[in-house]
Chains A and B, each alone.
Chain A
């Protein structure tokens, strides 16, 4: 690429670091930026920086938020006796869209996966246990992805949680195999939530 400007090259490199974007697409995006209005480019750049500066993890549930604790954890209308455990912030979003669940969340930050070097100590399990030691929690819903890692994590957590005496349930495996929570449609997700089973 001798015929291109150095700054375009740099931007191409940056775009190429994003997931799912190859060098060719990255180059196309960079050239698109060249064509954009200055105001739009500034707005884009600002939006990027502002996400990084403003968004952090909630100190209670680990969901992404701009104010700590997050608006779910501070919402007085939510049912504080139920905690729904999910893998990622995107799962919270998916479940919120169903309008079905009125309790609180706990974001683990992934699932057990020895191959990826993720063990129990890499997930926010200690934080979960600490939340549970406070009073008032009656039910834990395990809503992890319906893949082998999600299932193994569900099993691991249920062994850990059951001795604590509260009701432990998991969402029904009505989700098509291999569909991550974030891709499941709202109706399917509602059904999975309704049909949760005790473990």
Chain B
């Protein structure tokens, strides 16, 4: 998947920006606060209907305006073209998303259509942060490769909130809510089990990919691992039915704790994706360099996983990571892109980018200043 053109109107500090992208590396270069990340965010709106930073749509509308519009032309690896448009009106709080002119009613239907892999400063939390950051990573990747996973996840979250409300009501009113709670437990288990099974399979597949890319980055000295630690403990071999029973037993066992805390204490929302280096928990024991290598390995694995699943190379969004990485690691990352993929990377100076990028036709360098993007258009633009 590649982005051919991008047009941004009244979005963040971009009043009107048009980017005609290169087929491979697109470098967005400019000083701090000029609007580089905003361009990546706009790409994220085109591909995922929303910001990769998880910020609210209303904040992205240019201050003093009440509507933004972002549109782009995408080209699939097979050559199929899509024109995508997103608008948001902050007054009526309405977002519209259209592919080839037809409006998409449910944004969840878009997830995975235009796969994206993001690496930014915040990605560091995947190896350094709490379990919630790793679940987010896992969900983001699986959702882009499986529509039914996303459906289950969205419904699970809704059921969880409903169930927690029942627990809260029960605590506050001291009435008997057992019947209602049982209903919501059933709904929770049905979706929770499917989520757990998919996560287990995903982690197994990703594990091999992570080990492979880690070895390429750091050699054989260290072995990384990722391990799925579901909050409802179950053996690897256990089937869906067995896990379902376990989930029910766990809820029963934690009944009193749930009553006390008025919250659901077991389920996929409490899962952990453990990361290890040489068998030791990375979050606790890994060095800074090991963290970086592990993160890059994870991202390369994510890229490979999505490419495999979607039969489509994802678009890479790399925000401010050069300079953070040594040349060796960043070159490995860029090896990924050529010959077929496309990447957008931001940097405050050209100097921090890998020196061997051949700027010109396929690789384009854009200067970003005060919400405007300029490009020295000497090459013809005809892809």
Residue A20 CB within 8 A of the other chain:
yes
**Interface residue ranges of B67-124 to A (CB < 8 Å):** 89, 91-94, 106, 108
Please classify the interface of chain A as helix (H, G, I), strand (E, B), loop, or mixed, using the class held by over half of its residues. helix
Residue of A nearest to B157 (CB): A148
Inter-chain contact B91/A23, CB cutoff 8 Å = yes
Inter-chain contact B165/A148, CB cutoff 8 Å = no
Shortest A159–chain B CB gap in Å is 8
Inter-chain contact A119/B161, CB cutoff 8 Å = no
Residue B155 CB within 8 A of the other chain:
yes
Contact A24:B186 (CB < 8 A) given known A114-B165, A114-B169 = no
Contact of B162 among A20, A21, A113 (CB under 8 A): A113
Question: What is the bound-complex CA distance between A20 and B96, given in angstroms?
Answer: 14
Shortest A25–chain B CB gap in Å is 7
Contact A22:B151 (CB < 8 A) given known A115-B165, A152-B162 = no
Shortest B175–chain A CB gap in Å is 10
Shortest A160–chain B CB gap in Å is 9
**Interface residue ranges of A70-127 to B (CB < 8 Å):** 112-115, 119-120
Chain A proximity mask over B32-74: 1 for CB below 8 Å, otherwise 0: 0000000000000000000000000000000000100000000
Question: What is the bound-complex CA distance between A148 and B180, given in angstroms?
Answer: 13
Residue B298 CB within 8 A of the other chain:
no
Contact of A178 among B93, B106, B162, B166 (CB under 8 A): B106
Contact of B89 among A22, A112, A119 (CB under 8 A): A22
Tally of contacts, chain A with chain B, CB under 8 A: 54
Residue B216 CB within 8 A of the other chain:
no
Question: What is the bound-complex CA distance between A178 and B147, given in angstroms?
Answer: 13
Specify which chain B residues have a CB less than 8 angstroms from the CB of A20 in the assembled complex: 92, 94
**Interface residue ranges of A140-168 to B (CB < 8 Å):** 147-149, 151-152, 155-156, 159
Chain B proximity mask over A8-25: 1 for CB below 8 Å, otherwise 0: 000000000000111111
Chain A proximity mask over B161-184: 1 for CB below 8 Å, otherwise 0: 111011001000000000110011
Inter-chain contact A22/B91, CB cutoff 8 Å = yes
Specify which chain A residues have a CB less than 8 angstroms from the CB of B92 in the assembled complex: 20-22, 24-25
Question: What is the bound-complex CA distance between A136 and B341, given in angstroms?
Answer: 67
Residue A177 CB within 8 A of the other chain:
yes
**Interface residue ranges of B119-177 to A (CB < 8 Å):** 151, 155, 158-159, 161-163, 165-166, 169
Inter-chain contact A152/B187, CB cutoff 8 Å = yes
Contact A114:B187 (CB < 8 A) given known A23-B91, A177-B151 = no
Shortest A110–chain B CB gap in Å is 14
Question: What is the bound-complex CA distance between A184 and B207, given in angstroms?
Answer: 42
Contact of A156 among B155, B163, B165, B180 (CB under 8 A): B180
Residue of A nearest to B168 (CB): A114
Specify which chain A residues have a CB less than 8 angstroms from the CB of B163 in the assembled complex: 114
B-binding residues in A (CB < 8 A): 20-25, 112-115, 119-120, 147-149, 151-152, 155-156, 159, 177-178
List 13 additional contacts besides A114-B184, A159-B179; criterion CB under 8 Å: A22-B91, A24-B92, A25-B92, A112-B183, A114-B180, A115-B162, A147-B155, A148-B159, A151-B187, A152-B159, A152-B187, A156-B179, A177-B155
